[in-house]
A = this chain, B = another copy of it.
Amino acid sequence: MKSYNESCPIALALDVIGDRWTLLVLRELLVQGPCRYTDLANGLPGIATSVLADRLRSLEDAGLIYRESAPPPVATTLFHLTAKGRDVEPILVTAGRWAVEHLDGPAPDSEFRIHWLPFAASFYLRGHEAAGLPLSIQLETPVGSGVVEATVDGVRSRVGTVPAPDLTLTGMPDGIIRLLSGASTPEEARNEGLTIDGDIEVLAGFTRDAVS
């Protein structure tokens, strides 16, 4: 993309991360960890392969990612985030919080990937009161599972399962999001088809962003 050629830091940032698809490529690397080219393509429905190749080159040139020629058994190129790339996470989180506060939910026919769910869920869950840590929430949907874990180090999320979660939410992804966001109460969520197993009180322990 053409540079804005401004001295403002916002414009400088957008020169690097403002291209179409760029922030979503970084999202994939943040939530999936090191990725193969095809892992990225699968997590970015609709991207043209030439565009993905271009963005990866730009991000590498800008020092946000690097390539590793992984030895067997991987035997392929892996794309990793650098510290500079990892540090865009707060930008994504801030944008995600804004979206869940101000925007309508996704369209009914929109694309969904299970590895997005725990990241989206984490937008609602910040630090956690020290009491009861560590704790974990298991998310179960027809299209896959995710975990949100709170430790003294903060809140992390990932795809997969955890042995003995403190709370398990089973249902459609949007129902889970609505519950975590406070858009629906536990009772409403149950009525909408969500199954809640375990200690619902752990949710209250997560300090929500003050939406003032």
> Which of B8, B95, B111, B173 makes the CB contact (< 8 A) with A10?
B95
Instruction: List residues of chain B with CB within 8 A of the CB of A113.
Output: 8
Once the chains bind, are A27 and B8 in contact (CB under 8 Å)? yes
Q: How many copies does the complex hold?
A: 2
Stretch of A50-58, A97-105, A188-196 on the interface side: A97-105
Which residue in B6, B84, B110 is a CB contact (below 8 Å) of A106?
B6
Which residues of B sit under 8 angstroms from A12, Cβ to Cβ?
A: 99, 103, 106
Given A96-B13, A103-B13, verify A116-B8 contact (CB < 8 Å): yes
Interface 9-mer from A18-26, A127-135, A160-168: A18-26
- Min CB gap A71→B, angstroms: 30
Tally chain A residues at the interface, Cβ within 8 Å: 51
A110 and B24 contact, CB distance less than 8 A:
no
Q: With A13-B99, A94-B94 as known contacts, state yes or no: A6 contacts B111, CB within 8 Å.
A: yes
A45-B6 contact given A95-B13, A95-B14, CB 8 Å threshold = yes
